[in-house]
Amino acid sequence: MFRAASRRASAQAQKLAPAQRQSWTRSIYSNNGRPTLRPRYNNTNADLFTIPHTRHLTVAQKIRLKYREASKGVFRKNPILLPLAIFSVVGGIAVFAYVSYVEVTRVQPQYHKFPQQVADQLRTAVYYTEIDLNPPKALKAYKEALRIAVDMGMHPFSDEVLGIKLQVAMMLEKSGLVKPAVEVLERTKTEALNWIEEGRKAEAAAADKSKTGQAPVKAKISPENVQIDGLEEAEKQMKEMREFEARQRDRALKKVVGMEMKLAELYSSEYIQDEKKAEDAQVAAVELCLKEMHRRQSLGLPVGGGTADEGDSEAWLNMTEIATALAELADTYTAKGRSELAMPLYLRALEMIRVAEGDSPSCKQVVLLNSVASAMAGQAQVPAKPRSGEKQTVSREQTIDAARQWAQKAIDVAAQIQSPVRNEECDMTCVAATYNLGEIAELQNKLDVAQQRYTEAKFLAQGLGYEEGVSMAGEALKRLE
């Protein structure tokens, strides 16, 4: 009976508090006839009574947790803004990387030879030349750069200082101020030529004195306090200075030739249209080249090119550049119908190109070969006027046949040139040479051959998209019909 009452009490307690069970059990024990409750511990489950310690999160863990909570559903809530933001960030990084790359690889090398103060002014000038064209501000910055360069002791005819002056002319031309650009080039050219001539005279005088045994007086040196080592060091420095000045004169003369050719371009432009001055500038450039070649040959120096400071570039024009100057003057003579003056220039330029290129011809040879053919064909169409007391040695038929051989030679040389050396210039010259062969055949009254050549030239021009060649060949075919 007592046991039944005990069981009923336990069942009732379980129904009243089923969720408040603890990890320890209650058992009924008899103490003087009265039931009591006391806990009975289980040694095997002692770990169940351990209260865990609270763990404190680190700052990184808190940030990670907040980021994880914030990132939940962010794409779902912002399906357009989120990709746009990511694209903007990636694009900004890419633009910054590209700007940095351009600054390191292209911009910095242009200014590394200038002092920092000069480079800062040049950056401003280039900005107002290339980015925001503003001639007054650009000119002011260029003048300030030149003033600082002179104050800091830079050579007045060095590549850097002359380069600034040429940049000024380029800026004026870009702004449409062609006449001021011509004035800058003319003044710079005259100053450089005067300095070169004075230096060459002094150099020649020193060489003559050394040959006659009279050493030139170089400096006033008091022998009391100067030792032998000091004299040798001074002599070495003066020798290096003379060599440096000689290289600077060569480099300045190279730039003067370029100025003359640029002046010819500006004089013949639509802004001035002075063909006489343009031709004079081209003639002056060619005369400077030939005169310098003769001087270098007499001194045993390389006729074309030459080592410059640190081997970074050539101090004097190479053979290809000299040939270009000759060919441009010859083109001017050809355009004016003065083939007898153009022929020697073309032949001399072709000889220089062949020497420079050796066994690897380029399209420059093809162009010159065709130019010789054109000049000969033009010369054959002009009645020869022999001078008094002279007989004509070359007949018209011989001149025409020689022109045909030169044009055919141009096509043969072009066939030997393969890519990547072969370019569009070769293809267009082949069209011109084929047209010239048709014109020569027409002069020889070989109308069938002429029609065949004109048709071939038109077909080649159509394949290249050379509209001028198509038009000229079409007109020639109509003329034959």
Q: How much is the mean pLDDT over the chain?
A: 81
Joined together, the tokens standing for residue 375 give 């000049």
Distance CA 94, CA 112 (A): 26
Summarize the confidence of residues 437-454 as an average pLDDT. Answer: 93
The reply to whether 121 falls in a domain is: no
The reply to whether 434 falls in a domain is: yes
Q: Supply the range of the domain harboring residue 371.
A: 340-383+395-481
What are φ and ψ of residue 36, in 5° steps? -130, 155
- Tens of pLDDT along 262-299? 999 999 999 999 999 999 999 999 999 999 999 988 88
What are φ and ψ of residue 199, in 5° steps? -65, -40
CATH value at residue 468: 1.25.40.10
415-424 in b/e form (b: 16+ CB < 10 A) is eebeeeebee
The reply to whether 433 falls in a domain is: yes
Identify the pLDDT of residue 188: 96
- Give CA separation, 365 vs 181, 238, 412, in Å: 34, 44, 11
Identify the pLDDT of residue 395: 82
Global pTM reads 0.73
Which residues on adjacent β-strands are paired with residue 31?
Answer: 34
By DSSP bridging, strand 34-40 and strand 25-31 are antiparallel
The reply to whether 477 falls in a domain is: yes
Summarize the confidence of residues 296-314 as an average pLDDT. Answer: 70
The reply to whether 429 falls in a domain is: yes
The reply to whether 418 falls in a domain is: yes
Joined together, the tokens standing for residue 419 give 């890519």
Distance CA 250, CA 292 (A): 9
**Percent of the residues in the chain that have a pLDDT greater than 90, as a whole number:** 47
The reply to whether 454 falls in a domain is: yes
Joined together, the tokens standing for residue 351 give 């000889």
Summarize the confidence of residues 78-85 as an average pLDDT. Answer: 78
The reply to whether 479 falls in a domain is: yes
Identify the pLDDT of residue 44: 46
Lowest mean pLDDT among 28-32, 93-97, 223-227: 28-32
Distance CA 355, CA 361 (A): 10
- Tens of pLDDT along 385-420? 655 555 556 788 888 999 999 999 999 999 999 888
Residue 163 confidence (pLDDT) above 60: yes
Peptide bond into 223 cis (omega under 30): no
- Give CA separation, 306 vs 160, 197, 228, 243, 245, in Å: 19, 20, 34, 13, 15
Residue 216 confidence (pLDDT) above 60: no
Domain count, the chain: 1
